[in-house]
Structure 1
Amino acid sequence: MARAIAVVLALLTASHALGERVLILYPQVREPYTKIYQDTLEGIAEVYKGGHTLLAITPGQHLEPGVIARAAPNLYVALGNDAARELGIVAPEGPVITTASQDVDFKVRHQLTYYPDPDTLITQLQRFQPGIRSLFLVAESDTDAYEDRVRETLARAGIGLRVCAAGSLAAAAVCYRQLLDAATTRDAIWILHGGKLLEPALLTNILSTAWERQLTVLSSNPDHVRRGALLSLYPDNLSAGRQLGDMITACLAPGKCTRSETSYLRTMGVALNERT
């Protein structure tokens, strides 16, 4: 299989002297998805001023180990699942900062997960709907650690979190029906997950029921606001890049990046439905 890796930006000689050898990998994707990574890389560059190498990964083609050896990085950044998978094959020892949602086995992995940081979530919720006393969420079981963080943060503000676990669309539909039946005007339905836990007919049912019963709906998709959700907190790729830049700077400090940890987005895009 052909190997295609495009070196977009050469490693700066001065940064070698400073010990800053950062290798950033991102996927080559078609429009309109290229803008996701363009904005992310722009955000990184706004914050992290050290030298680095950018490698564009062609999905389905393998990363050449010699490229890694020549760059000799002391920190990797893998944007997206394709970049993380390829890096995990040739350099699993890390340390790695990654936005991948898939669980790639790195020795030291600093994960930026594209869910709202719990403090950001509570700030925006209290800003736009201060009377809410409970959040109702349908979630997959692999978000347990995030749910625990959210639950602790909400509890400090006197807000509860009720979670219904679902592993399929059918199970999610049952969960949403149960949560909608139990909800009052002081509760909010939180649509965190799309994908296999949501499809158009189910979304229509959630939003129409919420409208009829004057229930608040919070979503991670700004398109849902146009369809009736009150509020959407969604990833802003430029801001995510800036946060990654902060993470790079922190990881390069002596004694840092020695154990795995997970961070969440501190700055989110906000869409508000002013008609509801």
Structure 2
Amino acid sequence: MLLGLQALDFYEQSGQHRSNVFLTGVNALPGQVPLPGISLTVDPTLYLRTLRELLPDIRRVVTYYNAQEAPWLIPVRKAARDARLDIETIGVTDAFDLARQLARTFKTLDPHTTALWFGGNTIQLNDELIYSYVLEQTWDRGIAVFSDTIVHVKRGFLFALYPDYAAIGSELGTLIQQHARMTGLRFSRAGRLAFNLRTARHLGLTVSDALIQRAHPLYSNP
């Protein structure tokens, strides 16, 4: 088993070509790494399932993604079709491009039917500039927004999903024991929930006790 980018780099430089190598500990998208294993990137299906659980009236999701990570869109679009959600995907190249695209979205967005989703490495293009702008606009307009970053939730986003490392390790161990045949990395299906209860109340959501108990971390203070 290879764990992390350093182990992957060492393996690739070694020139070995073993058929029983499994990989985890990387955020690569399926298709970016030929070795079998489990990526730390959480399956997009879990994001939209969580959104449906919280906001069943949402019909449209606008997702912003770093243009360098376009392969991420293939499973995102499939997940949206399966969830019967309309999805608008907006690729951005830098922080100013993202700010311009956001300004256009905010002019026409209906907060009752539309949510915003930030893929990996989008807000991080300029966290100081973008995050404050997004939080101010979404809070004032009552827009649900989610991402893959716990810190965003702590500061005011509704929720984020992040990998459950222990569960991924257990799943990978099972695959190795069963000598499972895989053609490449697959998304993590063991996503943990970070949730902001204060934001949920601001949006007028009724949150079940089961979801509150599932959330870790759970943020509720201003």
Match of 1:38 in 2: none
The separation in 2 between residues aligned to 1:141 and 1:97, in whole angstroms, is: 28
The separation in 2 between residues aligned to 1:166 and 1:135, in whole angstroms, is: 16
CA displacement at 1:179 relative to structure 2: 3.0
CA displacement at 1:265 relative to structure 2: 1.4
Does 1:79 find its partner at 2:3?
Answer: yes
Match of 1:194 in 2: 121
Q: Deviations over 1:99-138 (max 9, x none)?
A: 33469x9995114232221332222111112221122111
The separation in 2 between residues aligned to 1:202 and 1:164, in whole angstroms, is: 15
- Report sequence identity in percent: 22
Alpha-carbon spacing, 1:206–1:190, altered in 2? closer, same or farther (3 Å): same
1:222, 1:271 within 8 Å by CA — same for their partners in 2? yes
Match of 2:51 in 1: 125
Alpha-carbon spacing, 1:92–1:140, altered in 2? closer, same or farther (3 Å): farther
Match of 2:189 in 1: 266
Q: Cα RMSD (Å) of the superposition?
A: 2.6
The separation in 1 between residues aligned to 2:101 and 2:22, in whole angstroms, is: 34
Aligned residue runs from structure 1 range 40-51, under 5 A: none
2:23, 2:185 within 8 Å by CA — same for their partners in 1? no
Q: Using structure 1 for the length normalisation, give the TM-score.
A: 0.62
Alpha-carbon spacing, 1:92–1:208, altered in 2? closer, same or farther (3 Å): farther
The separation in 2 between residues aligned to 1:163 and 1:92, in whole angstroms, is: 39
Structure ID, larger Rg:
1
The separation in 2 between residues aligned to 1:169 and 1:264, in whole angstroms, is: 27
Between Structure 1 and Structure 2, how many residues are aligned?
A: 194
Q: Using structure 2 for the length normalisation, give the TM-score.
A: 0.76
Does 1:159 find its partner at 2:85?
Answer: yes
2:45, 2:79 within 8 Å by CA — same for their partners in 1? yes
CA displacement at 1:219 relative to structure 2: 1.6
CA displacement at 1:147 relative to structure 2: 1.6
Match of 1:46 in 2: none
Match of 2:146 in 1: 218
Give the partner amino acid of 1:126: R
Does 1:136 find its partner at 2:94?
Answer: no
The separation in 1 between residues aligned to 2:33 and 2:43, in whole angstroms, is: 24
SS of the equivalent of 2:136 reads helix
CA displacement at 1:218 relative to structure 2: 0.7
SS of the equivalent of 1:119 reads helix
CA displacement at 1:178 relative to structure 2: 2.9
Q: Deviations over 1:136-192 (max 9, x none)?
A: 111123433332212122112220221111222332333333333342211111122
Match of 1:53 in 2: none
1:233, 1:270 within 8 Å by CA — same for their partners in 2? yes
Give the partner amino acid of 1:228: G
Give the partner amino acid of 1:243: E
SS of the equivalent of 2:149 reads coil
Unaligned runs of 5+ in 2: 200-222
SS of the equivalent of 1:109 reads coil
Alpha-carbon spacing, 1:178–1:115, altered in 2? closer, same or farther (3 Å): farther
The separation in 1 between residues aligned to 2:134 and 2:32, in whole angstroms, is: 39
1:247 pairs, out of 168, 175, 181, with 175
Give the partner amino acid of 1:265: S
Does 1:228 find its partner at 2:145?
Answer: no
CA displacement at 1:208 relative to structure 2: 0.8
SS of the equivalent of 1:93 reads coil
Give the partner amino acid of 1:82: Q
